[in-house]
Structure 1
Amino acid sequence: MLKPVVTIAALLTIGIANTAQAQSWQPVKPFKADYKAYFKNAAIGHGSRTLEAKSNGNYEATSTAKVLGGVGMSYDDTSYFRYKDHKIVTEKFSRYKRVFLGSTTITGKADGKGGLIVKSDNKTKHFPAGSWGNTLDSTAFQIQFQNDVKSGQTSFHYHYVEGDKIKDYKFKIDGTETLKVPAGTFKTIRLKRIQNGDRQTYMWLAPKLDYQLIKLQVLRKGKQWSAMELTDFKFQ
């Protein structure tokens, strides 16, 4: 995610603003969120996301989903991370994915330099940190994204590991909107993924719920291809 550009002309103001931001910055609060998933306009599954603060100051985040009762596809992701200078550092993660013809287990751990060492199918790959900063797992990326929107960023660029591959995602603020989902009606910030092709991806985050994702929608040739909507939410 790209950060806002600030001019040198405001040097004095920057010093004051940075101090205030450091004092006021608060990470996303622990939560549990449940979702319903759709293919086109048909409900096909459900999922959940959780964030829990641990006694040692670290965090545990989970992301799970089942499609067609788990017969079609299911996954269970867990990430353990900490914060350093307001940014997430993944300590370790795991992903168990089941599809009709089999299953895959992927595990990863920190390399001590902001990157990840990932094991999958008896193969080990190293994904180092880069000019973008730390390389995250897919579940920690979701929390970092919430934090960055909460902190006031307007454009975003991430590199994260999904499976045994690195993903490069960019987003931008696309406006505000009052949106109704099964969990209620919320004032939201709408974000759009920057991508090529005939697909468009939008996300809606609700400030009232500490910038929780309340809807994700993928359009293909202008029509809904897939989506997920928040059905229940609570702070932990």
Structure 2
Amino acid sequence: MRTLNLPRSLLAGLVLAVSTSAAFAAQPTPFTATYQVSRQGEAMGEATITLKSLGNGEYEYSNQIHGTSGLAAMLGANSSDVTRFRWNNETPETETYNSKVSALKTKQRTMQVNWNTKQVSVDEGKGVTNYAAVPGLVDRNTMSLALGLALRNGNQNVTLPVGVKQRVEQQQFKVQGTETVKVPAGSFQAERVTRTDSDKHFDAWYVPKQYSVPVKLAQSDGGDLTLELIRYSSP
């Protein structure tokens, strides 16, 4: 039998092509997802979550909630969360995060992550808090996206370093099983994920092979809201 001997340069090129293709495939795909938002079973508005590619491994991830029903509409309740992150080592890493919640009064939070100095700066209008950044750091806005991307890779137990006001929380999540979930977008066989390191209520139902964000999300943090997918589109 004849052995095929390939030049080292050609072998190196093939390896590089394969590794580059794999890295490209692992990057998140831009999308727009619209959700019905409710509190304690009462509809209160819609949320639009958008992921945009800015090029060179940079992304913008935004979550816009508009109160359209009941008390939320009367108060003009709206929220805007916008994160710019980089794709690094097959995971998102927050660079900037801006949050604004408006109802009777306005609350704002900004987060800046300097990856050169590995420092996080958080400002809620009462002075800046600084603490050390860690690899893979995300913010509370991109946490659900980072979790979905980890589930896409087959992980059943996920720990995410989430930057909050004064520190990094190592938030832990576990897949509890597969359940049938019915939302406005349809019926799905979804993985139910819960947070296991806190008494804060967090349940999310993911179809990770199809979407990088949950088809349903219920959490106590941020207003005890439930989001159910209405529609999802990607280029």
TM-score (normalised: structure 1): 0.76
Check conservation: 1:35, 1:230, Cα contact below 8 A: yes
Aligned to 2:111: 108
Match of 1:87, as an amino acid? T
Residue pairs, 1:217-232, within 5 angstroms = 217-218=218-219, 226-232=225-231
Residue 163 (structure 1) shift: 5.6
Query: Is the CA contact (8 Å cut-off) linking 2:138 and 2:161 kept in structure 1?
Result: yes
**2:217 corresponding residue in structure 1:** 216
Letter in 1 for 2:181: L
SS at match of 1:153: coil
Counterpart-to-counterpart distance in 1, 2:81 and 2:107: 12
In structure 2, the CA distance between the partners of 1:228 and 1:28, relative to structure 1 (3 Å rule), is: same
Distance 1:140 1:52, change over 3 A: same
| Structure 2 counterpart of 1:129, one-letter code | A
Shift, 1:111, TM fit: 2.1
SS of residue paired to 1:189: strand
Q: Is 1:201 paired with 2:205?
A: no
**Pair 135,196 (structure 1): closer, same or farther in 2 beyond 3 Å:** closer
Contact 1:116 1:135 in 2 (8 A): no
2:33–2:50 Cα contact (<8 Å) kept: yes
Shift of 1:193: 1.6
**Aligned-partner SS, 2:142:** helix
Structure 2 partner of 1:30: 30
TM-score, structure 2 normalization: 0.77
Do the aligned residues in 2 keep the contact of 1:189 with 1:204 (CA within 8 Å)? yes
Q: Higher relative contact order at CA 8 Å, sep ≥6: structure 1 or structure 2?
A: 1
Aligned 8 A contact 1:128 1:135 in 2: no
Letter in 2 for 1:127: Y
Matches within 5 A, 1:1-236: 23=22, 26-67=26-67, 68-69=72-73, 71=75, 73-100=77-104, 102-112=105-115, 113-130=117-134, 133-162=135-164, 167-195=169-197, 197=199, 200-218=201-219, 226-236=225-235
- Give yes or no for contact 2:144–2:214 (8 Å, CA) kept in 1: no
- SS state of the match for residue 151, structure 2? helix
Identity of matched residues, %: 21
Q: Counterparts of 2:168 and 2:102 in 1: how far apart (Å)?
A: 20
**Larger Rg, first or second structure (1 or 2):** 2
Structure 1 position 70, deviation (Å): 7.1
Q: Structure 1 pair 181/77, CA: closer, same or farther in 2 (3 Å)?
A: same
Distance 1:162 1:98 in 2: 20
SS of residue matched to 1:159: strand
Whether the 8 Å contact between 2:34 and 2:47 is mirrored in structure 1 is yes
Gap runs ≥5 in structure 1: 1-18, 220-224
Q: Helix, strand or coil: the match of 1:209?
A: coil
Shift of 1:141: 2.1
For the aligned residue pairs, the C-alpha RMSD in angstroms reads: 2.8
Q: Higher strand fraction: Structure 1 or Structure 2?
A: 1
The number of residues matched between the two structures is 209
Q: Is the 8 A contact 2:130 2:166 kept in 1?
A: no
Q: Once the 2 structures are TM-superposed, how far is the Cα of residue 230 of structure 1 from its aligned partner?
A: 0.6
Shift of 1:127: 3.0
Query: Helix, strand or coil for the counterpart of 2:93?
Result: strand
